[in-house]
Homo-oligomer: A and B are copies of this chain.
Protein backbone atom coordinates (compact mmCIF):
# COMPACT_ATOMS: atom_id res chain seq x y z
CA UNK A 1 0.00 0.00 0.00
CA UNK A 2 2.26 2.80 -1.19
CA UNK A 3 -0.58 5.33 -0.84
CA UNK A 4 -0.93 4.68 2.87
CA UNK A 5 2.86 4.89 3.27
CA UNK A 6 2.89 8.21 1.44
CA UNK A 7 0.13 9.62 3.63
CA UNK A 8 1.86 8.33 6.78
CA UNK A 9 5.16 9.84 5.69
CA UNK A 10 3.46 13.15 4.94
CA UNK A 11 1.70 13.17 8.32
CA UNK A 12 5.04 12.33 9.95
CA UNK A 13 6.69 15.31 8.27
CA UNK A 14 3.93 17.69 9.35
CA UNK A 15 3.90 16.39 12.94
CA UNK A 16 7.68 16.55 13.08
CA UNK A 17 7.75 20.14 11.86
CA UNK A 18 5.04 21.13 14.34
CA UNK A 19 6.89 19.41 17.18
CA UNK A 20 10.25 20.98 16.32
CA UNK A 21 8.69 24.43 16.25
CA UNK A 22 6.92 23.76 19.56
CA UNK A 23 10.17 22.60 21.18
CA UNK A 24 12.03 25.61 19.74
CA UNK A 25 9.33 27.98 21.03
CA UNK A 26 9.68 26.49 24.53
CA UNK A 27 13.36 27.40 24.30
CA UNK A 28 12.53 30.87 23.01
CA UNK A 29 10.19 31.54 25.93
CA UNK A 30 12.72 30.27 28.47
CA UNK A 31 15.41 32.46 26.88
CA UNK A 32 13.22 35.56 26.90
CA UNK A 33 12.29 35.02 30.56
CA UNK A 34 16.03 34.95 31.35
CA UNK A 35 16.74 38.10 29.34
CA UNK A 36 19.07 36.37 26.86
CA UNK A 37 20.32 38.22 23.78
CA UNK A 38 19.83 37.12 20.15
CA UNK A 39 22.64 34.55 20.35
CA UNK A 40 21.28 33.17 23.61
CA UNK A 41 17.79 32.80 22.16
CA UNK A 42 19.09 30.88 19.14
CA UNK A 43 21.30 28.59 21.27
CA UNK A 44 18.53 27.80 23.75
CA UNK A 45 16.04 27.17 20.92
CA UNK A 46 18.54 24.85 19.28
CA UNK A 47 19.15 22.94 22.50
CA UNK A 48 15.41 22.61 23.19
CA UNK A 49 14.59 21.46 19.64
CA UNK A 50 17.58 19.26 18.77
CA UNK A 51 19.37 18.60 22.07
CA UNK A 52 17.42 15.47 22.96
CA UNK A 53 17.73 13.83 19.55
CA UNK A 54 21.40 14.80 19.27
CA UNK A 55 22.25 13.37 22.70
CA UNK A 56 20.41 10.15 21.73
CA UNK A 57 22.43 9.96 18.50
CA UNK A 58 25.72 10.59 20.32
CA UNK A 59 24.87 7.80 22.79
CA UNK A 60 23.84 5.45 19.93
CA UNK A 61 26.84 6.57 17.82
CA UNK A 62 24.49 7.45 14.93
CA UNK A 63 25.35 10.00 12.25
CA UNK A 64 24.27 12.25 10.60
CA UNK A 65 22.27 14.22 13.14
CA UNK A 66 18.80 15.48 12.21
CA UNK A 67 20.02 19.06 11.84
CA UNK A 68 22.92 17.99 9.60
CA UNK A 69 20.49 16.16 7.31
CA UNK A 70 17.99 19.03 7.41
CA UNK A 71 20.13 22.17 7.79
CA UNK A 72 17.19 24.35 6.76
CA UNK A 73 15.94 23.97 10.34
CA UNK A 74 18.97 25.90 11.58
CA UNK A 75 17.87 28.86 9.45
CA UNK A 76 14.33 28.51 10.81
CA UNK A 77 15.67 28.83 14.38
CA UNK A 78 17.76 31.89 13.51
CA UNK A 79 14.73 33.46 11.78
CA UNK A 80 12.56 32.71 14.83
CA UNK A 81 15.13 34.38 17.09
CA UNK A 82 15.36 37.50 14.92
CA UNK A 83 11.56 37.67 14.59
CA UNK A 84 11.17 37.35 18.38
CA UNK A 85 13.52 40.29 18.94
CA UNK A 86 11.51 42.51 16.62
CA UNK A 87 7.92 41.37 17.15
CA UNK A 88 7.45 39.77 20.57
CA UNK A 89 6.02 41.68 23.52
CA UNK A 90 5.68 40.53 27.11
CA UNK A 91 1.89 40.23 26.87
CA UNK A 92 2.20 37.55 24.15
CA UNK A 93 4.04 35.17 26.44
CA UNK A 94 1.36 33.61 28.54
CA UNK A 95 -0.84 32.82 25.58
CA UNK A 96 2.13 31.31 23.71
CA UNK A 97 3.13 29.20 26.70
CA UNK A 98 -0.28 27.59 26.95
CA UNK A 99 -0.69 27.29 23.20
CA UNK A 100 2.54 25.31 22.72
CA UNK A 101 1.59 22.64 25.29
CA UNK A 102 -0.41 20.77 22.66
CA UNK A 103 2.11 20.64 19.79
CA UNK A 104 4.70 19.91 22.50
CA UNK A 105 2.68 16.81 23.51
CA UNK A 106 2.71 15.72 19.86
CA UNK A 107 6.49 16.15 19.85
CA UNK A 108 6.75 14.08 23.01
CA UNK A 109 4.86 11.24 21.33
CA UNK A 110 6.85 11.46 18.12
CA UNK A 111 10.27 11.55 19.79
CA UNK A 112 9.41 8.77 22.23
CA UNK A 113 8.28 6.48 19.40
CA UNK A 114 11.16 7.29 17.03
CA UNK A 115 13.84 7.05 19.74
CA UNK A 116 12.58 3.64 20.82
CA UNK A 117 12.36 2.47 17.20
CA UNK A 118 15.91 3.57 16.37
CA UNK A 119 17.39 1.87 19.43
CA UNK A 120 15.48 -1.39 18.91
CA UNK A 121 16.69 -1.45 15.30
CA UNK A 122 20.25 -1.43 16.74
CA UNK A 123 19.37 -4.60 18.75
CA UNK A 124 19.54 -2.80 22.09
CA UNK A 125 17.66 -4.28 25.09
CA UNK A 126 14.03 -3.18 25.53
CA UNK A 127 14.59 -1.02 28.63
CA UNK A 128 17.54 0.74 26.96
CA UNK A 129 15.49 1.37 23.81
CA UNK A 130 12.61 2.83 25.81
CA UNK A 131 15.13 4.99 27.66
CA UNK A 132 16.47 6.29 24.34
CA UNK A 133 12.92 7.36 23.49
CA UNK A 134 12.69 9.15 26.82
CA UNK A 135 16.09 10.83 26.25
CA UNK A 136 15.03 12.03 22.77
CA UNK A 137 11.79 13.45 24.13
CA UNK A 138 13.01 15.06 27.34
CA UNK A 139 16.71 15.97 27.25
CA UNK A 140 16.16 18.91 24.91
CA UNK A 141 14.11 20.52 27.66
CA UNK A 142 16.58 19.44 30.33
CA UNK A 143 19.55 20.98 28.48
CA UNK A 144 17.48 24.14 27.85
CA UNK A 145 16.82 24.50 31.59
CA UNK A 146 20.41 23.66 32.61
CA UNK A 147 21.79 26.39 30.33
CA UNK A 148 19.15 28.79 31.69
CA UNK A 149 20.44 27.98 35.20
CA UNK A 150 17.22 26.33 36.44
CA UNK A 151 16.49 22.92 37.91
CA UNK A 152 14.89 21.25 34.86
CA UNK A 153 11.09 21.46 34.88
CA UNK A 154 10.82 17.86 33.68
CA UNK A 155 12.55 16.67 36.86
CA UNK A 156 10.65 18.59 39.48
CA UNK A 157 7.18 19.82 38.47
CA UNK A 158 5.44 16.47 39.14
CA UNK A 159 3.48 16.81 35.87
CA UNK A 160 3.89 13.54 33.94
CA UNK A 161 6.14 14.17 30.94
CA UNK A 162 9.02 11.69 30.87
CA UNK A 163 6.71 8.94 32.18
CA UNK A 164 4.40 9.48 29.19
CA UNK A 165 7.37 8.94 26.88
CA UNK A 166 8.28 5.88 28.98
CA UNK A 167 4.75 4.46 28.58
CA UNK A 168 4.78 5.15 24.83
CA UNK A 169 8.13 3.42 24.46
CA UNK A 170 6.83 0.26 26.13
CA UNK A 171 3.79 0.30 23.87
CA UNK A 172 6.18 0.26 20.91
CA UNK A 173 8.20 -2.62 22.40
CA UNK A 174 5.05 -4.66 23.13
CA UNK A 175 3.45 -3.93 19.76
CA UNK A 176 6.58 -5.08 17.91
CA UNK A 177 6.82 -8.12 20.21
CA UNK A 178 3.26 -9.10 19.20
CA UNK A 179 4.21 -8.78 15.52
CA UNK A 180 2.59 -5.44 14.72
CA UNK A 181 3.98 -3.80 11.58
CA UNK A 182 6.48 -1.04 12.45
CA UNK A 183 4.20 1.75 11.17
CA UNK A 184 1.29 0.66 13.36
CA UNK A 185 3.55 0.23 16.39
CA UNK A 186 4.92 3.73 15.81
CA UNK A 187 1.43 5.25 15.62
CA UNK A 188 0.26 3.38 18.73
CA UNK A 189 3.33 4.40 20.73
CA UNK A 190 3.15 8.06 19.69
CA UNK A 191 -0.59 8.13 20.40
CA UNK A 192 -0.17 6.66 23.89
CA UNK A 193 2.68 9.02 24.81
CA UNK A 194 0.94 12.12 23.44
CA UNK A 195 -2.46 10.98 24.76
CA UNK A 196 -1.30 10.36 28.33
CA UNK A 197 0.48 13.72 28.26
CA UNK A 198 -2.70 15.46 27.05
CA UNK A 199 -4.69 13.66 29.73
CA UNK A 200 -2.16 14.78 32.37
CA UNK A 201 -2.44 18.39 31.20
CA UNK A 202 -6.24 18.28 31.36
CA UNK A 203 -6.57 16.37 34.64
CA UNK A 204 -3.73 18.13 36.50
CA UNK A 205 -2.54 14.74 37.78
CA UNK A 206 0.68 14.93 39.82
CA UNK A 207 3.50 12.43 40.20
CA UNK A 208 4.45 11.48 43.76
CA UNK A 209 7.60 12.93 45.36
CA UNK A 210 9.24 12.28 48.71
CA UNK A 211 6.78 13.82 51.16
CA UNK A 212 9.21 15.24 53.64
CA UNK A 213 11.18 17.06 50.94
CA UNK A 214 8.64 19.87 50.63
CA UNK A 215 8.67 20.60 54.34
CA UNK A 216 12.36 19.81 54.90
CA UNK A 217 13.68 22.10 52.19
Chain A interface (Cβ < 8 Å from any Cβ of B): 31-41, 43-44, 54, 58-59, 61, 63, 65, 67-68, 71, 74-75, 84-85, 88-90, 93, 124-128, 131, 142, 146-152, 154-158, 161-163, 206-217
Contact = CB atoms under 8 A, between A and B. Distances in A.
Q: How many copies does the complex hold?
A: 3
A24 to B, nearest CB: 15
Nearest to A132: B68
A128 B68 contact: yes
Contacts of A212: 88-90
30 contacts: A32-B210, A32-B213, A33-B213, A34-B217, A35-B156, A35-B209, A36-B155, A36-B209, A36-B213, A37-B156, A37-B158, A37-B207, A37-B209, A38-B163, A38-B207, A38-B208, A39-B161, A40-B155, A41-B209, A43-B162, A44-B155, A61-B63, A68-B124, A68-B128, A74-B127, A85-B208, A90-B212, A146-B147, A147-B152, A147-B155
A21 to B, nearest CB: 18
A145 to B, nearest CB: 9
A68 B131 CA distance: 10
A67 B147 CA distance: 25
